[in-house]
């Protein structure tokens, strides 16, 4: 029986995040990525399928409303299964539809004077969507969920916490749940000895803040 192994490339003092989505805005003559004031990452592993949910709060330090573009880099085999956006203080779930229908719906909503969101995949396998409005001196919450089939060898399946750039995150929380069947003998194995999973019934759970 294969073990579920986790390579958690994380240092609590300096978080090096790579595939974390970024929200880029145009500010005067230059563009910038808005800072993450909060990030909650929730990972569920069932068999060889992992789902990772990024619950993000971006902060706009500018005294004016901004429009941004959210980019989510995807590895081979990864798919976006959830997209939700904060609108008027409430989280609204997006719906995945065929491209032509999505464009028609977008234009119909836009004609009613409402600002819709339309997401798409680019050639570089990036999930992109327009985000508006990002309130002046305020925040915008965005939730993106990614699913993938884990790869591995004869002994381990591997899940890599997304990692690329160094940045400061105001409030960070990571929760990983590994589900197992009663007949299975799968034990999560972190890369570093100071990271441990707690066994609860048929779930191994790791929480980091």
Write out the E strands in the chain: 3-7, 16-17, 22-27, 30-33, 35-46, 49-59, 66-73, 79-87, 90-93, 119-121, 126-134, 139-149, 151-152, 156-160, 165-166, 172-179, 198-200, 203-208
* Torsion (CA) 18, 71, 73, 6 in degrees, nearest 10: 50
* The pair of three-digit structure tokens given for residue 87, joined into one six-digit string: 């609108």
Q: What is the pTM of this model?
A: 0.80
> In the chain, where are the structural domains located?
3-208
For domain 3-208, say whether CATH 2.40.50 is its number: no
**Lowest mean pLDDT segment, chosen from 1-5, 143-147, 179-183:** 1-5
**CA-CA distance, 36 to 22, in Å (whole number)?**
9
**In the structure, what pLDDT confidence band is assigned to residue 110 with cuts at 50, 70 and 90?**
very low
Mean pLDDT of the 58-75 span? 90
Mean pLDDT of the 158-171 span? 70
List C-alpha distances in Å: 98 to 95, 120, 123, 163.
10, 10, 17, 31
Tell whether the model's pLDDT for residue 183 goes beyond 70: no
**In the structure, what pLDDT confidence band is assigned to residue 30 with cuts at 50, 70 and 90?**
confident
Mean pLDDT of the 53-64 span? 94
């Amino acid at each position: 029986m294969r073990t579920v192994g986790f390579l958690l490339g994380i240092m609590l003092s300096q978080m090096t995040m790579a595939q974390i989505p970024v929200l880029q805005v145009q500010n005067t003559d230059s563009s910038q990525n808005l800072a993450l004031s909060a990030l909650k990452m929730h990972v569920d592993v069932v068999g060889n399928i992992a789902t990772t949910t990024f619950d993000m709060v971006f902060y706009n330090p500018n005294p004016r409303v901004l429009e941004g573009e959210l980019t989510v880099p995807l590895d081979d085999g990864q798919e976006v299964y959830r997209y939700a956006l904060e609108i008027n203080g409430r989280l609204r779930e997006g719906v995945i539809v065929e491209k032509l229908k999505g464009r028609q719906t977008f234009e119909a909503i836009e004609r009613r004077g409402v600002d819709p969101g339309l997401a798409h995949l680019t050639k570089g396998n990036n999930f992109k969507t327009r985000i508006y409005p990002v309130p002046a001196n305020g925040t915008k919450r965005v939730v993106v969920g990614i699913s993938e089939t884990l790869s591995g060898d004869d002994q381990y399946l591997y899940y890599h916490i997304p990692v690329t750039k160094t940045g400061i995150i105001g409030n960070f929380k990571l929760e990983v749940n590994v589900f197992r069947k009663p007949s299975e003998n799968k034990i999560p194995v972190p890369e570093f000895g100071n990271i441990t999973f707690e066994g609860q019934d048929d779930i191994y759970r790791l929480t980091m803040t």
